[in-house]
Structure 1
Amino acid sequence: MVTTFQLDTSGPTDDSRIVLFGTHTSLGEASGQLPDGAYTTFRTYQGSRVLRLRQHVQRLEESVALLGNPAHLDEAATRRAVAHALRATAYPESRFRLTFAPPMLFVSIEPFTPYPPSLYESGVWCVSVSLHRDNPHAKSTTFIASAADAYRALPAGAHEGLMIGEDGAVLEGLSSNFFAVMPSAAAPEAPCVLRTEEARVLAGVTRALVLEVARQVLPVSTEAVAYSDLPRARECFITSVSREILPVVKVDQLTIGDGFPGPITRALMQRFRALVEREAEPLL
């Protein structure tokens, strides 16, 4: 069950102003009942800890500005609204979707179960899809329904759909960012390069965190990987709040690398987990 709370940010933002908006069967259904706006998603760790909430607030502000409705969102008020939802539901772990349709902030919360360890041990299959964002830097709620339709059309067993640009570049997943470990163009013996598109994709908070830890491990390029170059990829993975870093071992009918999660992906997974342990902060 998804429970949604509402806060009018145009006036006082104390706890008494946080009210129940409604309950729904899914985040998708909840979003369908809310006005169009910007959204961001995050999860809890150890029940009441969250990671980089400030960046999520900034992302909402940036997105509504790109959507033509600039507005300030107070971080302290957002924290109070999220904490209110945590106290009201008391799930062991939670996933949030914040929707900002100025001046209204909606906090949707549902119980969260992490993906099974087997997916991280074996990797997942992704398929290419014909879909794109009209405003790629704005995380707009108008894309949610299109993504849901695309997920329903995925073949059985496919974990994620990868959006391909008109120029053949692998852009991002329907609800994730895409990375590929590619051989260096400089020389075969040079270190591999981690590549991910930047100009035409959502600047996800998890994506930013992965780039932080990745720069400690190997060179990083924000140049997209061409779909035609995927046979050269040593490793691939996708990232999102719910998935963190999830290895991709097959795209369409192409096996990536040796068909198993690679050493660089595994190293980044460990570093990301260490970052979570250091930085996830309590809200209650």
Structure 2
Amino acid sequence: MNYCFINGRIVSDAQASVGVHDVGFLRGYGVSDPLRTYNGKPFMLDEHIERLAFSGTMLGLKLPYPRAKIKRIVGALLAKNNPPVGGQEASIRMILTGGESKDGMGYDKRHPGFFILVSSLHALPESAYTKGLKLITREYQRELPEAKTLNYVEALLARDACKKAGALEPLYVSRGKVLEAATSNFFIVKNGALITPKQNILHGITRRAAIDCARELGMRAVERDIAVRELKTADEAFITATSKEIAPVVRINGMKIGNGRVGKTTHALMGAFRNFTAAW
């Protein structure tokens, strides 16, 4: 049996409920932040709480508890759910909404909705890291891209097209620039240097860790706009995300990236990141 935290209480998933008048449910007005465990310990929890708080401020929402208490709640949930179903590592999702609304629009900022969910981690298959992934481009820029809002309409609309194309997820592009994937940050490698968009994206925790790993390996990492046309000349590409870690991309639409295989730079970064998380 899994347990979660719902507005001040730890309850089983079977007993959990969200009010039908919560503006997160009625209007999608809220933010979330997912993280995972390594060796049973939440990975970069402080950074994820800070990003949740930042996303919340962009919607005028504040965390209802001090950060230290949120960390204690996460620890209690992990202990209550230990071990996760199947003995795997855990996936944790923190959610902050506007809370209950009397008219479907207004809400009381003093009483936000706050939830923490825990489940078994659903990681990519190992073949994704050895053979690489495919993405398909989609013209779109997220609203409030720096915030991790609850709006995933475009990502869900793209599911059928991704399935038909054999792609993991869409790669959002806008006005000739590459932005981010639906649930991941995006990088290309050119002449041994990492390049990743800096503006109009969500600044991922794993994205930052990948940049730090690259610099520790002596690689150059540049944050700048990437023109869509640059995909044709990229030597390698990869995505980063909590559940995906660093995952190679070998094809975008019908085009091979580089030689269509996992590149040596991406391979080195995957190893460095896994060494980093193994010691967490």
- Normalization by structure 1: what TM-score? 0.82
Flag the 1:144–1:23 CA change in 2: closer, same or farther, 3 A: farther
Correspondence for 1:19: 10
- SS of corresponding position for 2:152: helix
The correspondence for 1:126, drawn from 108, 120, 135, is 135
2:87 pairs with 1:78: no
The Cα of 1:199 is off from its aligned counterpart by 1.4
Correspondence for 2:167: 158
The answer to whether the 8 Å contact 1:61/1:73 transfers is no
How many correspondences in the alignment?
A: 253
The correspondence for 1:174, drawn from 182, 191, 201, is 182
Hey, what's the Cα distance between the residues in 1 that align with 2:130 and 2:223?
Answer: 27
The Cα of 1:152 is off from its aligned counterpart by 3.6
The Cα of 1:144 is off from its aligned counterpart by 2.5
| CA distances 1:189-209 after superposition (whole Å, capped 9, x unpaired) | xxx321101111001111111
The Cα of 1:114 is off from its aligned counterpart by 2.5
Partner amino acid, structure 2, of 1:266: H
The Cα of 1:73 is off from its aligned counterpart by 4.7
Gap regions ≥5 residues in structure 1:
9-17, 25-30, 184-191
| CA distances 1:93-130 after superposition (whole Å, capped 9, x unpaired) | 21111102364320112211422211100001110013
Correspondence for 1:197: 197
Flag the 1:82–1:71 CA change in 2: closer, same or farther, 3 A: closer
2:113 pairs with 1:104: yes
The answer to whether the 8 Å contact 1:5/1:107 transfers is yes
2:150 pairs with 1:149: no
Hey, what's the Cα distance between the residues in 2 that align with 1:4 and 1:153?
Answer: 33
The answer to whether the 8 Å contact 1:61/1:72 transfers is no
The correspondence for 2:51, drawn from 43, 51, 59, is 59
Partner amino acid, structure 2, of 1:98: M
Flag the 1:67–1:219 CA change in 2: closer, same or farther, 3 A: same
Range moving further from structure 2, 242-251 or 78-87: 78-87
Flag the 1:155–1:236 CA change in 2: closer, same or farther, 3 A: same
Q: Matches of residues 182-221 of structure 1 in structure 2 within 5 Å?
A: 182-183=190-191, 192-216=192-216, 217-221=218-222
Flag the 1:73–1:194 CA change in 2: closer, same or farther, 3 A: farther
Hey, what's the Cα distance between the residues in 1 that align with 2:254 and 2:264?
Answer: 22
Correspondence for 2:30: 37
Range moving further from structure 2, 212-221 or 53-62: 212-221
| CA distances 1:48-76 after superposition (whole Å, capped 9, x unpaired) | 21211000000011111112234465222
The answer to whether the 8 Å contact 1:4/1:23 transfers is no
The answer to whether the 8 Å contact 2:193/2:220 transfers is yes
- SS of corresponding position for 1:215: helix
Equivalent pairs: percent with the same residue? 31
Correspondence for 2:224: 223
CA RMSD of aligned residues (A): 2.3
Hey, what's the Cα distance between the residues in 2 that align with 1:38 and 1:63?
Answer: 6
